[in-house]
Amino acid sequence: MIDSARLRLPGFTPGSVWLVGAGPGDPGLLSALALHALDHADRVVYDALVDPRILELARAGAVLEAAGKRGGRPSPSQPDISARLIRLARDGNRVLRLKGGDPCVFGRGGEEALALADANIPFRIVPGITAGIGGLAYAGIPVTHRDIASAVTFVTGHERGGAVPESLDWDAIAKGSPVIVLYMALNHLARIMARLIEAGRKPDEPVAIISKATTEAQRVLVSSLEGAAASAQAAQIEAPTIIVVGEVVRLRATLDWLGAGEAP
Ligand code: SAH
């Protein structure tokens, strides 16, 4: 329970939906608004990536339902999930739609919000710490750094249908962005790394693969653009992973405050 009055948090009105980011895993990274929503929700509709420790924080009496999309496993379609949120809100529930990381960073939060707006359901978007920022912090890698990296690009390695996103301008990303943070890229790692080298990035540029970031099972593997795919395979790195390309990765040697990493 948090002191909602002292924090001046808004009421969670019956019949409304809050689209809330749960962060990458560590419950300590939840926002006050997210905790407030967990304290008051009647229904919690959660994604596969939401950490079980966070679901345990829901109010006793709240009904929890899984609605995650996870490659390979049967899961409700996006229109089904949106329809479900609308139904639950129309039935007068306080509906907490809980998503991993930030709801609008590769999380379809925008699609769900559009459906709610279309159905005239009142909603609120509560940002969360996205894995591409929180995961880097827990690996001791600054996402930008003066003199080394003044721009960062967040990229998905996975498009609707599962292929490497060919629609992206990889040459422009490689040239314009000293730091590249890749989501959903583990399955296509070899191709993406090769594509960045082809676009002019140095083969020995450092790459970090952060698996299960901010959870008790976090693992960090440091390699290079040319070596990343082989080392991920050799180390049997498991999804979900955030992959970061750039000189900022070298700072981890000094900044690994968590000390949970593995030697390169
Ligand atoms: N909305 C989420 C991203 C959803 S897409 C966010 O803002 O973080 C799912 C991808 O996010 C995964 O394939 C992985 O690339 C990344 N991801 C999410 N949680 C993660 C975690 N704890 N550790 C590493 N990567 C994570």
The 10s digit of each residue's pLDDT in 20-45 is 999 999 999 999 999 999 999 999 99
Collapsed DSSP state (helix, strand, coil) of residue 244: strand
Q: Which residue has the tokens 């970031």?
A: 213
Element containing residue 78 per DSSP (H, E): helix 78-90
Q: pLDDT at position 239, please? A: 96
Ligand 1: atom nearest CA of 212 is 23
Q: Is the CB of 224 under 6 A from ligand 1?
A: no
Q: How much of the chain, in percent, has pLDDT values that exceed 70? A: 94
**Helix or strand run (H / E) with residue 124:** strand 123-126
The span from the CA of 172 to the CA of 237, in Å, is: 29
pLDDT band at 232; cut points 50, 70, 90:
very high
Give the residue, out of 111, 180, 188, 242, with the most ligand 1 atoms within 8 A of its beta carbon, to mutate for a pocket test. Answer: 242
Q: Does the pLDDT at position 161 exceed 90? A: no
> What phi and psi values does residue 181 have, to the nearest 5 degrees?
-110, 120
**Positions marked active-site:** 47, 69, 184
Q: Is 115 in the pocket of ligand 1 (CB under 6 A)?
A: no
134 lines ligand 1 (CB under 6 A): no
Name the phi and psi angles at 89, rounded to 5.
Answer: -70, -45
What average pLDDT does this structure show over 103-111?
94
Say if residue 69's pLDDT is above 90: no
In the predicted structure, residue 9 carries a pLDDT above the cut 80: yes
CA atoms within 13 A on the CB side of 187: 12
Q: Is the pLDDT of residue 71 over 70?
A: no
Query: HSE on the CB side for 178, CA within 13 Å?
Result: 13
Using 50, 70 and 90 to split pLDDT, how confident is the model at 264? Answer: very low
Backbone angles phi, psi at 32, to 5 degrees: -60, -40
What are the tens digits of pLDDT across the range 175-226? 999 999 999 999 999 999 999 999 999 999 999 999 999 999 999 999 999 9
pTM (predicted TM-score): 0.94
Distances (CA, A) of 35 to 9, 18, 27, 107, 223: 11, 12, 10, 20, 37
pLDDT of res. 18: 98
Per-residue model confidence as pLDDT tens digits over 139-160: 999 999 988 888 999 999 887 6
Share of the chain above pLDDT 90, in %: 83
219-224 and 206-211 beta bridge pairing:
antiparallel
Q: Which atom of ligand 1 is nearest to the CA of 103?
A: 1
User: How far apart are the CA of 5 and the centre of ligand 1, in A?
Assistant: 32
User: Which token pair is 23?
Assistant: 């962060």
Nearest CA to ligand 1 atom 15: 183
Contact 242, 154 (CB under 8 A): no
Find out whether the beta carbon of 243 lies less than 6 Å from any atom of ligand 1. no
pLDDT range class, residue 167, cuts 50, 70, 90: confident
What is the CA angle 254-29-155, rounded to 5?
70
Residue nearest to atom 16 of ligand 1 (CA): 183
Alpha-carbon distance of 162 to 184, in angstroms, equals 10
